[in-house]
Amino acid sequence: MKSKKKSSKSKKNTAKLIINSNTYQLPIHKATEGSDVINVTKLFSESGYFTYDPGFTSTAACESKVTYIDGEKGILRYRGIDVSELAEKSDFIEVSNLLIYGDLPNQIQLKKYRKLIVNHTMLNEQLIKFFNGFRRDAHPMAMMVGVMGALSAFYQDSLDINDPHQRMTAARRIIAKAATIGAMSYKYSIGQPFVYPDNKLSYAENFLNMCFSVPSENYKIPKIISKAMDIIFILHADHEQNASTSTVRLAGSSGANPFACIAAGVASLWGPAHGGANQAALEMLETIGNKSNIDQYIKKAKDKKDTFKLMGFGHRVYKNYDPRAKILKNICKEEGLNNQIVKATSQKKDQQLTNSGIGLIPSSSLTLNETVIGGTTWVFSREELTNTFDVLVIDEAGQMSLANLLVMAGCAKSILLVGDQQQLSQPTKADHPGDAGKSSLEYLMQGANVVPEDKGIFLNTSWRMEPSITNIVSELFYDKRLMGNPSNENNSINWGKPFLRGSGNQFPNQGIVFEAIEHSGCSVKSIEEIDFIEKLVESLLGGSYTYSQFNENRTGEITPNDILVIAPYNVQVNRLEQRLEGRAKVGTVDRFQGQEAPIAILSLTASSGDNAPRGIDFLLEPNRLNVAISRAQCLSIIIGCPRLATGLINTVDEAEQVNRLCRLMTKN
């Protein structure tokens, strides 16, 4: 395109752009606050050139009086008012009024506006039934996108964006119903009944009540939590033209109704580089584990060849600090929330806990200042701790006796059992009548393989194992309800040296496999299996592995720490340790519960059920077998004599156990 040459004489409030000796005058718009902007609207029509700013880091896409951000100085203002002042003196409803109308309302205006919001908190009853079409394991944001968009099918009197009255009605409905939809999405995902809005409560209190109360009992909303929630709403009420705001504006430019546009914005907010970054940050912290690993992960983040990324709370626009984080921190200080996490113990030192920022204190020194306390049964059974805690969390509840749980139950208002009924049971048991001898989890589940929907939540995705391992584990132990994470499909190893199976074929790089080793008369040890395992380990060492963790690939060379060798009897364990001499981690199933590694090798040891100490019931006990084979991230190898699947079967349980073994033998 041939462009007309402009005069080289600059005008007032203009910028001069020279391209191939052609000069173009671009108007400069004076900003109310912050940087002035160069208007490039006519640049293409006059020069034939576009501007290039894919991240919109140097582009003002609209005129706005709503929000001002200075990332360098950590400033966030709504309508010219600093957000810290609003957090201190206003509530969310007042702030939303400010953002919509431009000024803080007087008392009469605020009362009227608050009433209008309150009167729109309910959802149409038919719209509530919309949730029944979703899967229970759907992400709450997925449901919110659908239901928010569906509002346009129920409130057709406020769809015309060009009608000021309809536009404001839609705005009030969205503000009011967003909290209800969000709470219902959460309730549906955890399998609890919906709680309807209570218009006597504040906006934040109403949201918390809908999220955490249940119809069967009264829920007292903690003042500090409702205050913090209200401030969180204020701090996120607006944040300049970010991804979700731009999405709403782009959808709105077509004349689409407000509900559809906001649904599009919710979908954008869901993304891990936007609102979903909070979820990504939490997952990252779980990956890092404790303070001692921080330096290692910072190095990984700086390594361009490593896929690991540091996910941060806050926003990238703030270069020094996020003013919103500072406000929340100050609120916590004002309310005396020091977030102190301690372990009640008589131990003097525990380096791992200390590195994680967890203190050690005697149980006699506990005060009300600690927000999270870890300890044994004996700590929480003390009479002076009655009704002290909001929640008592029992980890590995399958190993916590029902008697011990009952002793502790009085210390908390609610009890959360966390565990897997298909993992190892209580390490020691006495002889008790009836249900008294059961673990707390065993008592709750009453023989079910996975927790019933009316009693809890089954986390149905395995984030550790290669999916074919997950499939067989799901089939044998979890009623086919356990699913593998698709990102784990690439979990695999490369052998250090080629190693052939008895069939003459190469061992696979992933999955689960049974290798038959013939022997007879073996009881607590099998030299034949030890010989074979030694050759396996030698061929594995020096190879490499790849596995996915939180959808991030981890790679490395196979070392002794990456190979778990599991045996049922201490004699076999001792002989394996002597033979392998530190070339793998060796132990019984009990040692490795809770651990994982790229490769797990299980030695069944005994030649037959008759040779097996404590019988086939112990050797093939489902929980022990499940733990053993499910330690593997990439490859699980079972070594055993095929005659274990033959012989006399005395009980139904033994028949089921042998059937499981036969199923594993077919994984070749």
Over residues 266-315, the pLDDT tens digits come to: 998 888 777 777 777 778 888 887 777 888 888 888 888 888 877 765 55
Cβ pair 235, 83 in contact under 8 A: yes
CA dihedral of 206, 211, 212, 216, whole degrees rounded to 10: 90
Residue 12 phi, psi (nearest 5) = -65, 140
Cβ pair 106, 94 in contact under 8 A: no
Q: Which range among 87-101, 136-150, 347-361, 562-576 has the greatest average pLDDT? A: 562-576
Confidence band, pLDDT 50/70/90 cuts, at residue 560: very high
Beta strands in 584-660 (DSSP E): 585-587, 597-603, 632-640
Determine what percent of the chain is predicted with pLDDT higher than 90.
38
- 390: helix, coil or strand? strand
What integer pLDDT is reported at residue 537 of this predicted model?
A: 96
Query: In the chain, how many H helices and how many E strands?
Result: 25, 21
Distance of alpha carbon 618 from alpha carbon 561, whole angstroms: 27
Cβ pair 145, 157 in contact under 8 A: no
Q: Which of 244, 243, 239, 249 is nearest to 318 (CA)?
A: 239
How many CA atoms lie within 13 Å of 454's alpha carbon, on the beta-carbon side? 2
Q: Which residues pair with 15 in a beta bridge?
A: 26
Contacts of 633 (CB under 8 A, 6+ apart): 464, 465, 466, 488, 491, 545, 547, 596, 597, 598
What integer pLDDT is reported at residue 6 of this predicted model?
A: 41
- 39: helix, coil or strand? coil
The H or E element that residue 528 is part of is helix 527-540
What single-letter DSSP state applies at residue 217?
B
85 token code pair: 């002042």
Distance of alpha carbon 359 from alpha carbon 365, whole angstroms: 12
600 token code pair: 């797990």
168 token code pair: 């404001």
Confidence band, pLDDT 50/70/90 cuts, at residue 87: confident
Q: Which of 375, 353, 352 is nearest to 364 (CA)?
A: 375
Mean pLDDT within 469-489 = 93
644 token code pair: 């274990």
Cβ neighbours of 215 (radius 10 Å): 10
What integer pLDDT is reported at residue 69 of this predicted model?
A: 77
- 101: helix, coil or strand? helix
* Span 180-215, pLDDT tens digits: 999 999 999 888 899 999 989 999 999 999 999 988
Q: Which range among 41-55, 231-245, 508-522 has the greatest average pLDDT? A: 508-522
* Span 337-372, pLDDT tens digits: 556 778 888 787 877 777 667 788 887 777 666 778
| From 51-65, 124-138, 397-411, 602-616, the region with the lowest mean pLDDT | 51-65
Distance of alpha carbon 62 from alpha carbon 45, whole angstroms: 20
Distance of alpha carbon 587 from alpha carbon 641, whole angstroms: 20
Mean pLDDT within 211-230 = 85
What integer pLDDT is reported at residue 2 of this predicted model?
A: 36
Cβ pair 601, 536 in contact under 8 A: yes
Q: Which residue has the tokens 């897997």?
A: 420
Q: Is 401 exposed, middle or buried (0-12, 13-18, 19+ CB in 10 A)?
A: buried
Mean pLDDT within 417-437 = 75
218 alpha carbon, distance to own chain's centre = 29
Q: Tell me how far apart the terminal alpha carbons of the chain are, to the nearest angstrom.
A: 68
- 136: helix, coil or strand? coil
Cβ pair 100, 258 in contact under 8 A: no
What integer pLDDT is reported at residue 337 of this predicted model?
A: 54
